[in-house]
Chains A and B, each alone.
Chain A
Amino acid sequence: MTIPSDAQLREILVDMVMARTQSSRLWNLQRQGQVGTVAPIDGHEATIVAATHALDTDHDWVIPQYREPLALRRYGPEILERFMLYSLGHPAGGHIPDPIRVLPNQISLGTQIPHAVGIAWGMALRSEPGVALVFFGDGSSSEGDFYEAGNLAGVLNAPVVMVCVNNQWAISTPVHLQTAADSLADKAAGFGIPGVKVDGNDAAAVYDAVDEARKRALAGRGPTLIEAVIYRLGAHTTADDPTRYVPPEDLEAAQRNDPVLRLVSQLRDLDLWDDAAQEKTEAEALKLIDRAVEAARSAPLAADALLDHCLSADSQRLARQRSQLLDARSPEAGGHG
């Protein structure tokens, strides 16, 4: 068992508090009409942050679904900057700069799991040390891509860590309507790989499970499926009203097991955290997100950006469409400039 050091736990808590603070700010910005749909992070912080703290950011890949970016701070400030561009709808939001080993958000559920297996397989083929860690939810575990990718990962012995973040809800559908299996970790048996179930509200437990899976993969012993059991404390997204379907007593029980409050309490007992640390971290989080939103708002956007990066070079047709678009947008045409 690998237990994170006190210093690591403190770093993990800083990232967790930052993620929750920024998620809350983002929710408000959405309500003000300043950004698009937001998927709040509340309840997911320990799993996502602790998992990434068990990785080697120079070599290991993170392949997210879409709720994770605010919790991927360990991979660099560019993640937040790009995520704010993404939230504002700027195309550059999808370009996480080289050499950061994080893919942009994936909206189509579970489709990123085959990509993670491909990355892990590719790294193994090139004898590069590293693993691919992919996040997906309990809902995604019903997708065909989960089964096809988990199966292929097993056959290839690919160095992939599959982290199923079981937050109990796929929008309004509870996990017992996703599967008749007792546990999502049990599905690993069908792939012939280890399946591990952890308390996803316990940062140290998640860190340990990912660390072990990573070491196993690096030793050539193949993939692991980790089910991190948590509870979605917020709405699915800003477009969702969970009071229609989440039993209040379940939510209250989950709130008593809030992963952020839990680690705060643990680190307070160790004299590693106090009110000043909390306030300082929250202030820093707000400063960073506000700055990133400001930068995203003033990011340049070419008049024909719509057509960029579809193909490596414009086809005859795209070249014509580019001329038409630019003509339509020129001031002489009365376009929108």
Chain B
Amino acid sequence: MKKSGKSDLQDFFIKPRSILLLGSGGLRIGQAGEFDYSGSQAIKAFKEEGIRVVLMNPNIATVQTDKGLADKVYFLPLTIDHAEAIIKKERPDAIALSFGGQTALNLGLELEEKGILKKYNVRVLGTPVSAIRDTEDRAFFVKRLNEIGIKTARSFAVHDVAHGLKAAAEIGYPVMMRSGFALGGLGSGRVNDAGHLAERLKEAFASSPQVLIEEYLAGWKEVEYEVVRDSADNCTTVCNMENFDPMGVHTGESIVVAPSQTLSNEEYHRLREIAIQTIRHIGIVGECNIQYALNPNPPAGGVDYRVIEVNARLSRSSALASKATGYPLAAVAAKLALGHTLPTIQNAVTKSTTACFEPALDYLVLKMPRWDLTKFENAASRIGTEMKSVGEVMAIGRSFEEVLQKAIRCLNIGADGFTANRNGNFKIDDYDEQIQNPTTQRVFAIAEALKQGMTIQEVHKLSGIDEWFLSKLKNIIALEKQTRTKKFDAEALRSLKKAGFSDLQLATIKKTTHVKIRTLRKKLGVTPVIKQIDTLAGEFPAKTNYLYLTYHGTEHDIVPSGSVGHPMSYVVLGSGPYCIGSSVEFDWACVQALNTLREKKYKTIMINSNPETVSTDYDMSDRLYFDELTLERVLDIIDFEKPKGTIISTGGQIPNRLAMPLHEAGVAILGTKATNIDKAEDRHIFSKLLDTLQVDQPLWTEITTAKAAAKKAAEFGYPVLVRPSYVLSGSAMSVAYDEAALIRFLKRAADVSEKHPVVVSKFIENAREIEIDGVAKNGELVIYAISEHVENAGTHSGDATVVLPPQRTYLETIRRAKTITKKIIHALKITGPFNIQFLAKDNHLQVIECNVRASRSFPFVSKVTGYNFIDMAVRAMLGEDVSGEYRTVDLDYVAVKSPQFSYGRIKGADPVGRVEMASTGEVACFGDSFSEALLLSMQAAGVRIPKKNVLVALGKEENKIKLLTSMRELYNMGFKLYATEHTAEFLKNHEIPCEKVFKISSGKDPNVLDLIERGKLDFIINIPTHAMTDTSKDGFIIRRKAVDMNIPLITNRQLAEAFITALAEARTTSSPSSVRV
């Protein structure tokens, strides 16, 4: 590092008038809500400068696509054609690529490569494209780092299988395989021998032109730095992080702590120095991260490291670093991209010091991944070098024990902490196996191992996890053991709380209730303190609103909101970790609630534990408690703040479940009464209510033995829907078509008993599903939106393609749905948001469920109808008059919402729609017609329009008949059809030419597997015989291969039909790319 004069880059800077910002599209594994945070911060930072911002992002559930942020929003697929069309129309003079994850970066690179940016004279903001290429292309990367003598893992970039095998032979097995240009390490992993390598390479080359074969560094520490650099060459590291799980487990799958815990000064600063050298050499302008492997036992001592990668963009890690330190990385990166220098930017947290510094933490944070693998059939719970987690939580505290136990609770997986879980849950029997071959439950396996007397050294040997971390875990176990025989006094309680034990855990250990523990604790004065996060460890006074609770302290940093002259404060409970079923849409809803409350001049208090959110941004609330959404913690905060009310209806199911306990603890809940929320939540009470209201519902019963279940199922008639209340693995819900399937399914449930009953309900086939999202006040309907599903009932509403306004639903049905809705909201005296789901068959309606809270589709219906449903709901809850005429059915356009799947990440999972939700995100597009909107929306979710070759395997006779017209249409459009045996015969009988391909199991040519593997196919339509329980292995292999080879796939009959019709329509009408803003 040399002091140097002014950089040439500074002169390069001219402030743009308008910027096109690329978003990241639907949430998927490896690319989740963190890009809503980075995109919306960037938009705000650009707007502050008076720059016009055009946003391209089909993710309708995001905050960044809200009115009032960007000047114009295009809900369009993030593809080169659409991007070019927007550029042509908007003529931005700059483009921002680093705020929309890998998707935006890849699209930006493509735009540059194809000369589109040059053609329209669009400048890339921040890091130059050449520098991005240096970080993206592994071979360039290694070469660039070699130039300055920085070590990278021994690695070869290969472009075909033969070279891959040769490279591996040279390095020696095991090797690490990574595919280039991929998000979240897709197609990466340890490969032990040439046989497996050949197979994996073949798969990888299907989605990536280049694969890397690398030196295997398992067991090395994994460390990351977040770096910012400006155009004048000022460069600092904002945060460093250390993985609890050493190399071999993807950083997105690892428990991560910040700052690093086991690095000496020499190691910390040597890696920091290398980070700065590297980033300067590559020429990043803005934000990036650098990942290292660090040898824990260097043969020659000193610092033995390898640089693993540099991400020249905002990333999941940078979102984490931003929340971990309080340093608004995305906002600063946006300013740097405009040419501002670090010393001239103010530290937004202290408002008195400069952004050119490195935050000093006086606490530590711990991130834990949230997995949802049980939602997938067949999915392995093993974790490794590929990312499978769908979300994460961050816990803040002042000891490792404290943050670990807090984080486990934040996950919302039913665990009360590291140990002492209720009913002996999270006890892992094959703990040594799961420690050695990490699974999603590894942390609980370690707990069990330590309880069983395994030593720290033994666990270290199996896992490679640093002994320091393990010693802390052992402290927790030791403390639990002592507590069993010890009486609680203030000191004992305090030391347990310092080690992160919750009241529930203590109640479990002492066989009492958490309410009693809480009372005792308060009597003894054992309560947490509230501390501020101020980015500089208290060195300067800071105007920070960023808070957490800890037991390592004796003094609050703040006084309650009520005591500083603004008695009217409201708490909004956040949505916790992103997981399947609860994602960015609930963060959106919480942000809307905060906005409305602030507009009304109330003080807002946000509680959330998810670092990937906008609701936890430093400028969204007056007070942000980055903490657990558990009853205990929420009460701690409410006890202190004494707010006027608490909103629990915008954060999804986590706060919704707190309704009753909070109410019982005397907390004022805004909107619908907790007791009435409970009526909708309790299946028995709600069912009775529907009966009283004379509203029909599918037959159901609750059963405590398998035998009784079979009896009832026979009574209802198959198929039936089965929902056990307690499962260990496999999906929780399933459809059984016969008794054998029912019994098989119940056997898989861990326990069927009085304590864990099973709900069996009649499954209605060929019914359609419609949904009403709305707002009510004092039991009267204020506004509603009705949307219909393209797929028939049986596809989870979160996985369904949703249309608004409805296209196929009769007016009479709509009228009936509305009548039923009015009855229910009246009976439950709803004030605030609600969602009701219906089954519709032949104009007859049955109610499936009612959620007395905002639902997943609230951002969709709000943005499509133009009415902000959450704003109205909050105003209704505050008692305002929100009545009026709202036009939500008769719209001039059609919007379609499509699910975004991440099956590519979940090896072995069957990519087929089921009653259990599997999608990780959603997108929505608009059109003049349903067909237009559908095609755009599906493309936005990653479905590529076929060009030539389509494989069809249509399953049972009914499917074949119903899809006959569609097949003819496909053929008429000029597609070459390949069909599996029975489907081929059927098509031929109906004079639709196709090429017959043989089942995989037949071994005959042409074989379907061969066809897929040779990359011959553009598109696959594979409809399983029974939507939910396809036992045909061939079908599964076709679907799985389609996903693994990245071939677009449709598995639902109704969707296939709609898609083909839309394709045909698109061919006849020269569709103008219609766009809504």
Q: Do A and B come from one complex?
A: no
Chain B positions within 8 Å of A, measured between CB atoms, are: none
